[in-house]
């Protein structure tokens, strides 16, 4: 036992070294999302509903791109663990090809469907044009967004989580400053008795979308430059022609994960569509509560990055002891962090809702669902890190199956029955979401405990 404690204590600093930059990056992104929501919320419930109505489609697009990055993460982290840096650099060259193909393809698709998205999401007719314009502006720089996601994943796969964090910090600063300039019209503010004229374009929610688009454009360019100059994983000098020896192993890992994220995100779209049909108050409360809740998943996503990278390194080095030490250290750590996050969310739900809305009904409804979901935070956090370890060793089929069962078998069918057939509201829909989270915990925990995901060294 003493020997295991020594190994575990050595693993904890490594986990934190990889996780904290990702946590800080996620925290800053969430803070900006909070600011965006608060600024848009000041424009009224219609503006909040218009922005929130397409958020699940945003997740669908972003998660699909992220899934492609998972294949590269597994391949590169395993190559680094095996000491084969040349193979890792060749994979970095293939990442450039992937960014170009995926980014351009998504740009074409978004330009074609932007007017239909609000219709598919059952958005009130009065705000469909507003929602469509917001969506199109936000995703116009899709090539740069793709570069930011995939190149950031490539850097994290070799243990460099600080560079994506630094780029993310600047992106968030740009987004916040431009929000102030683009959303509101020119106005006069009184500070310490002094009147100051603050310039503004008065673009409303289109201004929020434009600010984000510019920030993502910067992020895509900056992360590309950083990757190009990186000592360990630069694609400079590598071939950008398709390389089957790299792409096929990456696709084997990425495809199930992409199917998982696509199916899950499509489920989010259907879920949000049913909530939008409940009216503006429910849609606004759901949008704000989702935004608030996302901030409390930060420890989970940070730990998932560390879990995936370290598990991939362990597999590449054929070090079963390192893999065991990782799981023994990271699971209790994640459980503790998510329990604390759940407690804070439960305690401060009304105050957090008040940050984003002045509508008493929206605040009350959002606070109720947040306190409900706060209880399930640890149950949701554990599958996140378990999935991270499975991603690192290339086991992505089981998570795909579990996610489809949970999303479509519990959340979607349950929400449809509750809201569309029985006439129940947002609280019932979030209860179905919580049941989905608990089921995921059970499925992942049983599969993980049986050890079927572990590679044989």
- CB atoms < 10 A from the CB of 94, how many? 24
Three-state secondary-structure class, residue 255: helix
Place 438 in a pLDDT band, splitting at 50, 70 and 90: very high
Alpha-carbon distance 155 to 316, whole Å?
17
Q: Is the pLDDT of residue 54 over 80?
A: no
Give all strands (DSSP E) within 193-340, no chain letters. Answer: 194-201
**pLDDT over 60 (residue 153):** yes
Q: What does the pLDDT average to over 7-35?
A: 73
In order, the DSSP letters of 401-454 are HHHHHHIIIIIIHHHIIIIIIS---HHHHHHHHHHHHHHHHHHHHHHHHHTTTS
What is the structure's pLDDT at 3?
41
Query: Where is 186: in which H helix or E strand?
Result: strand 185-191
Q: Residue 351: is it exposed, middle or buried by C-beta count within 10 angstroms (0-12/13-18/19+)?
A: exposed
In the structure, what pLDDT confidence band is assigned to residue 6 with cuts at 50, 70 and 90?
very low
Q: Is 185 helix (H, G, I), strand (E, B) or coil?
A: strand
Residue 15 pLDDT greater than 90, yes or no: no
Above 70 in pLDDT, residue 34?
no
- 149: buried, middle or exposed (CB in 10 Å: 19+, 13-18, 0-12)? buried
Q: Which residues of 275-313 are buried (b: 16+ CB within 10 A; e: fewer)?
A: bbebebbbbbbbbbbbbbbebbbbbbbbbbbbbbbbbbb
pLDDT beyond 70 at 5: no
Is the Cβ–Cβ distance between 427 and 370 less than 8 Å? no
- As a whole number of angstroms, the distance between CA 345 and CA 292 comes to 9
With beta carbons less than 8 A apart as the criterion, state whether 173 and 34 touch: no
Q: Cβ of 229: how many Cβ atoms within 10 Å?
A: 10
User: For the residues 60-71, what does the mean pLDDT come to?
Assistant: 82
Most confident of the following: 16-20, 38-42, 118-122, 381-385: 381-385
> For 249-253, 264-268, 425-429, which range has the lowest pLDDT when averaged over its residues?
264-268
Q: Is pLDDT above 90 for 364?
A: yes
pLDDT confidence bin for 9, thresholds 50/70/90: low
Q: Output the pLDDT for position 216.
A: 92
List pLDDT tens digits, range 187-209.
777 676 777 787 877 888 888 88
d(CA 219, CA 143): 11
pLDDT tier, 309 (very low <50, low <70, confident <90, very high otherwise) = confident
Residue 170 has pLDDT above 60, yes or no: yes
Q: Are 232 and 85 in contact (CB under 8 A)?
A: yes
Q: Which residues pair with 190 in a beta bridge?
A: 195
Mean pLDDT in residue range 22-43 = 71
- The pLDDT of residue 219 is 95
Q: Quickly list DSSP for 349-386.
A: HHHHHHTT---HHHHHHHHHHHHHHHTTHHHHHHHHHH
Q: Rounded CA gap, 288 and 285, in Å?
A: 5
pLDDT of residue 37: 67
Question: Please, which residues bridge with residue 194 across strands?
Answer: 191
Give the distance from CA 454 to its chain's centroid: 26
Q: Are residues 44 and 67 in contact, defined by beta-carbon separation less than 8 angstroms?
A: no
Q: Is 198 helix (H, G, I), strand (E, B) or coil?
A: strand
- The string of pLDDT tens digits covering residues 208-233 is 889 989 999 999 999 999 999 998 89
Look at residue 417 and tell me whether its pLDDT is greater than 90: yes
97/11: higher pLDDT: 97
Name residue 189's beta-bridge partners.
Answer: 196
Which residues fall within 8 angstroms of residue 42, CB to CB, at 6 or more apart? none
Q: Cα(256)–Cα(188) distance, rounded to whole angstroms?
A: 54
Find out whether 230 and 88 touch, Cβ atoms under 8 Å.
Answer: no
**Closest by CA position to 286, among listed 427, 181, 168:** 427
C-beta pairs of 362-368 under 8 Å, 24+ apart in sequence: 362/45, 362/281, 362/284, 362/285, 362/288, 365/281, 365/282, 365/285, 365/426, 365/427, 366/285, 366/286, 366/288, 366/289, 366/292, 368/427
The answer to whether 133 and 206 have CB atoms below 8 angstroms apart is yes
Separation of alpha carbons 239 and 89, rounded Å: 10
For residue 27, the number of C-alpha atoms closer than 13 Å in the C-beta half-sphere is: 10
pLDDT, the chain, mean: 86
Q: What is the mean pLDDT of residues 297-302?
A: 79
């Amino acid at each position: 036992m003493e020997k295991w404690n020594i190994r575990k204590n050595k693993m904890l600093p490594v986990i934190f070294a990889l996780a904290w930059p990702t946590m800080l990056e996620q925290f800053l992104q969430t803070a900006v999302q909070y600011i965006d929501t608060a600024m848009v919320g000041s424009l009224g419930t219609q503006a909040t509903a218009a922005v929130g109505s397409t958020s699940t489609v945003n997740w669908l697009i972003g998660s699909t791109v992220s899934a492609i990055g998972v294949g590269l993460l597994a391949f590169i982290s395993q190559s680094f663990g095996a000491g084969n840096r040349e193979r890792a650099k060749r994979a970095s060259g293939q990442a450039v090809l992937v960014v170009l193909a995926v980014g351009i393809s998504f740009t074409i698709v978004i330009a074609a469907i932007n007017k239909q998205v609000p219709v598919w999401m059952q958005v009130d007719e009065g705000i469909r044009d507003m929602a469509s314009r917001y969506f199109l502006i936000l995703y116009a720089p899709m090539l740069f967004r793709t570069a930011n996601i995939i190149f950031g994943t490539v850097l994290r796969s070799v243990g460099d989580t600080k560079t994506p964090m630094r780029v993310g910090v600047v992106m968030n600063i740009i987004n916040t400053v431009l929000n102030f300039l683009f959303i509101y019209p020119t106005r006069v503010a009184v500070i310490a008795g002094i009147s100051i004229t603050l310039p503004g374009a008065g673009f409303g929610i289109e201004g929020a979308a434009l600010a984000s688009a510019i920030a993502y454009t910067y992020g895509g360019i900056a992360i590309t430059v950083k990757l190009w100059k990186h000592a360990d994983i630069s694609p400079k000098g590598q071939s950008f022609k398709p390389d089957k020896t790299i792409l096929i192993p990456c696709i084997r890992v990425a495809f199930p994960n992409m199917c998982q994220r696509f199916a899950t995100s499509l489920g989010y779209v259907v879920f949000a569509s049913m909530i939008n049909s409940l009216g503006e108050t429910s849609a606004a409360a759901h949008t704000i509560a989702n935004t608030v809740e996302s901030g409390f998943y930060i420890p989970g996503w940070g730990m998932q990055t560390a879990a995936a990278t370290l598990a991939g390194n362990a597999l590449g080095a054929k070090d079963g002891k390192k893999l065991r030490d990782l799981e023994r250290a990271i699971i209790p750590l994640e459980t503790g962090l998510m329990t604390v996050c759940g407690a804070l969310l439960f305690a401060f739900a009304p105050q957090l809702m008040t940050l984003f809305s002045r509508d008493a009904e929206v605040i009350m409804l959002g606070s109720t669902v947040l306190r409900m979901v706060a209880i399930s935070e640890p149950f949701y956090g554990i599958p996140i890190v378990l999935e991270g370890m499975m991603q690192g060793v290339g086991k992505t089929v089981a998570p795909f199956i579990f996610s489809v069962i949970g999303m479509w078998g519990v959340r979607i069918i349950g929400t449809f029955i509750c809201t569309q057939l029985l006439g129940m509201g947002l609280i019932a829909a979030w209860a179905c979401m919580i049941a989905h989270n608990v089921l995921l915990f059970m499925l992942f925990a049983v599969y993980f405990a049986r050890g079927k995901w572990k590679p044989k060294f």
